[in-house]
Structure 1
Amino acid sequence: MSVRISRQQWEGLLGELDHARRQRQLLTYRALLERLALPTPAMQTLTAALEYLAMIDARAAQPLRSSLVISQGASRLPRPGFFECVEKLGRFSGPSDGVAAASWHAAEVVRVFEYAYPATTQV
């Protein structure tokens, strides 16, 4: 299944992530879905966009901005699919629900907060 978002939606996603980064805050998937008018299926569209952004950041040797998006649940970690994605990108290895995942995620979030990203990222 192929998903697409408009340039405006992509820029909205980047803007939300940049705002969260500057405020040193995390966003939930639900909060992003409420703020962005993504086409249905919205969660699959958001997931695909975040995975694409992770690929862009990894290729540019930048911290992964998609790590700022977490589940509402008690773990306060991204969904397991995020860890599968970053494992494919060579950034993390291990189970998505353990101490290693939580430690890696916390360190990556700090890296995102401290990094100065270029002004634009292509769709």
Structure 2
Amino acid sequence: MNDSAPSVRISKQHWLALLNELSDARRQHHLVTYRALIERLELPVPAMQTLTAALEYLAALDARADRPLRSALVISQGASRLPKTGFFECATRLGRFSGPADGAAAASWHAGEVARVFEFDYPEMP
């Protein structure tokens, strides 16, 4: 997110619901689309910006704690079954990924990150 972008905040209720949805997806070894999360969480407008900001914040928390990025479980509805390019840009800023945000390298890294998320035992959140 650039410095001129307005700050987007997510309510504690929505944040905890997001963590719960990602935890369920991880336990079931499923990926979830951005649209499904927005609908399940009933995020208010601007829903996509709110979800994106929350996922980037979660990625930063996971990276800081040296954990796999749970935000990797959220993907686009399109045929690629990959996250949006912003996810890869965020992962690059966090030092987790380098390379173009689309193509074979991104798909391969994403598949590995998803596998690590599925295998990792995350601490329970308050």
In the superposition, the TM-score normalised over structure 2's length comes to 0.94
The one-character-per-residue Cα deviations of 1:33-54 (angstroms, maximum 9, x if unpaired) are: 1101222100000000000000
- Name the CA distance, whole Å, in 1 between partners of 2:9 and 2:87: 19
The equivalent of 2:23 in structure 1 is: 18
Partner of 2:3: none
Q: TM-score, normalization: structure 1?
A: 0.96
SS at match of 2:9: coil
38, 57, 72: which one aligns with 2:43: 38
1:54 matched to 2:56? The reply is no
For residue 90 of structure 1, the aligned residue among 88, 95, 100 is 95
Determine the C-alpha separation between the residues in 1 that align with 2:14 and 2:50.
11
The answer to whether residue 10 in structure 2 is matched with residue 5 in structure 1 is yes
Secondary structure of the residue aligned to 2:87 is: helix
Q: For each residue in 1:55-99, what CA deviation from the matched residue of structure 2 results, as whole angstroms up to 9, or x when unmatched?
A: 000000000000000000011000000000000000000011110
User: Helix, strand or coil for the counterpart of 2:102?
Assistant: coil
Number of residue pairs matched by the alignment: 121
**Between the two proteins, what is the percent identity of the paired residues?**
73
Aligned equivalents of 1:25, 1:87: Cα separation in 2? 24
Q: Which runs of 5+ in 1 are unaligned?
A: none
> Partners in 2 of 1:102 and 1:91 — Cα distance?
14
Moved more, 33-42 or 11-20: 33-42
Counterpart pick for 1:78 among 66, 76, 83: 83
| 1:100 aligned residue | 105
State the Cα distance separating 1:4 from its structure 2 match: 1.0
Aligned with residue 33 of structure 2, among 23, 28, 34:
28
Letter in 1 for 2:63: A
**Which whole-Å CA distance do the structure 2 matches of 1:96 and 1:3 have between them?**
24
Aligned residues: CA RMSD: 0.8
